[in-house]
Amino acid sequence: MSASFNYKHLYYFWVVAKEGGISKAAGKLGMAVQTVSAQVRELEKELGCELLKPAGRGLTLTEAGMAAMQQADQIFQLGEALPDVVRDAASTPGVRLWLGISDGLPKLVVHRLLQPIISEPRLRLLCLEGQFNELLGNLALHKLDMVISDRAAPSNPNIKLYSHALGSSTIAWYGTPALLAKSDKTFPHNLADLPVLLPTAHTAMRDRLEHWFEQQGLQPRVVGEFEDSALLKTFGASGMGVFPAAESVEEELISHYAVQHMGRSKGVTEHFYAIGTEKKVQHPLVQRLLHPTPV
């Protein structure tokens, strides 16, 4: 972008596009129609393309205008949030970290992954749970510092995202002692006799498990599907069904939910990633997550 680019011109264009016409925009801005029109023409001159075209009694965006509007939305939404962010930072000093947590990610695993930063005395941690694509959108808008997920970021020419491996875990199966006693078969064949709980289909783990079932020649009786991994384990602990979980947190799992280890899904691994917008991470707490100090 040239050094002569004027953000005021972009702002006037943004208001015109949102209002659907120069007259309405001029009224909202408290300016003359001629002034607003001239400002938009200056922006088009700076960018070297037409952004608006006539449509009935109003105006509509050209293809270039839609691209400009998308960028302007991000710029001015961030600008509108700036005063609150600055005031909040001034009133509560500390080290802030905004994390997006993919909704299918095991909560015990998340807690373990965050251990390197939990002891930070000035930490202010905000965790937002949501669907993978929604979190990536918030990350691209710089509303989050990092997203933790069970899959790497997809390739997108419009948004540069970088995936940093945090670790992985084999997947094992667990159930209550009373439920496991209902089958005298060995694992994994006892999965055919017992009710099964699974993560929902939008998780990366579900696809891997379905493939593993096919390899084992199993057709499990699925009695429950859960987006939230903690909810899946809670229903598993009640005896509703056996369930898969990351073996790396088995000690905490057995302690929290009073279940037993059934067996391991050989070849099924859950991977964990930190996704950010920078190849070289600058945030000190994110650096600590990616490169924890050996104990």
Residue % of the chain over a pLDDT of 90: 44
So what's the pLDDT on residue 94? Answer: 66
Q: Where does residue 71 rank: exposed (0-12), middle (13-18), buried (19+ CB within 10 A)?
A: exposed
Q: What is the DSSP string of the chain?
A: --TT--HHHHHHHHHHHHHTSHHHHHHHHT--HHHHHHHHHHHHHHHTS--EEEETTEEEE-HHHHHHHHHHHHHHHHHHHHHHHHHHHHHS-SEEEEEEEETTS-HHHHHHHTHHHHT-TTEEEEEEEE-HHHHHHHHHTTS-SEEEESSPPPP-TTS--EEEEEEEEEEEEEE-HHHHTT--SPTTGGGGTSEEEEE-TTSHHHHHHHHHHHHHT---EEEEEESSHHHHHHHHHTTS-BEEEEGGGHHHHHHHH--EEEEEEEEEEEEEEEEES-SS---HHHHHHHSPPP-
Pairing outcome for strands 260-276 and 146-149: antiparallel
So what's the pLDDT on residue 221? Answer: 95
| 116-165 per-position pLDDT tens digit | 888 888 888 889 998 888 999 889 888 898 999 988 988 877 778 889 99
| 4-29 per-position pLDDT tens digit | 568 889 999 999 988 888 998 889 88
* pLDDT of 268 over the 80 cut: yes
The angle formed by the CA atoms of residues 280, 167 and 129, to the nearest 5 degrees, is 80
CA–CA distances in Å: residue 234 to residues 109, 185, 200: 15, 25, 15
So what's the pLDDT on residue 119? Answer: 83
User: How confident is residue 80, by pLDDT bands cut at 50, 70 and 90?
Assistant: confident
Lowest mean pLDDT among 109-118, 190-199, 249-258, 281-290: 281-290
For the chain, what is the mean pLDDT? 88
User: How confident is residue 93, by pLDDT bands cut at 50, 70 and 90?
Assistant: low
So what's the pLDDT on residue 77? Answer: 82
* pLDDT of 295 over the 60 cut: no
So what's the pLDDT on residue 91? Answer: 65
CB 180 within 8 A of CB 204: no
So what's the pLDDT on residue 1? Answer: 44
* Cα separation, 95 vs 289, whole angstroms: 14
* pLDDT of 224 over the 70 cut: yes
So what's the pLDDT on residue 2? Answer: 47
| 52-69 per-position pLDDT tens digit | 888 877 788 999 989 999
> Sign of the C-alpha dihedral, residues 25, 30, 35, 40?
negative
So what's the pLDDT on residue 173? Answer: 97
User: How confident is residue 82, by pLDDT bands cut at 50, 70 and 90?
Assistant: confident
Domains in the chain and their CATH numbers? Answer: 7-88 (1.10.10.10), 94-167+273-290 (3.40.190.10), 169-271 (3.40.190.10)
* Cα separation, 295 vs 290, whole angstroms: 15
Model's pTM, two decimal places?
A: 0.63
Residue with tokens 């949501």: 130
Spatial neighbors of 242 by CB under 8 A, at least 6 apart, are: 173, 174, 175, 179, 180, 191, 194, 195, 196, 197, 236, 262
So what's the pLDDT on residue 187? Answer: 96
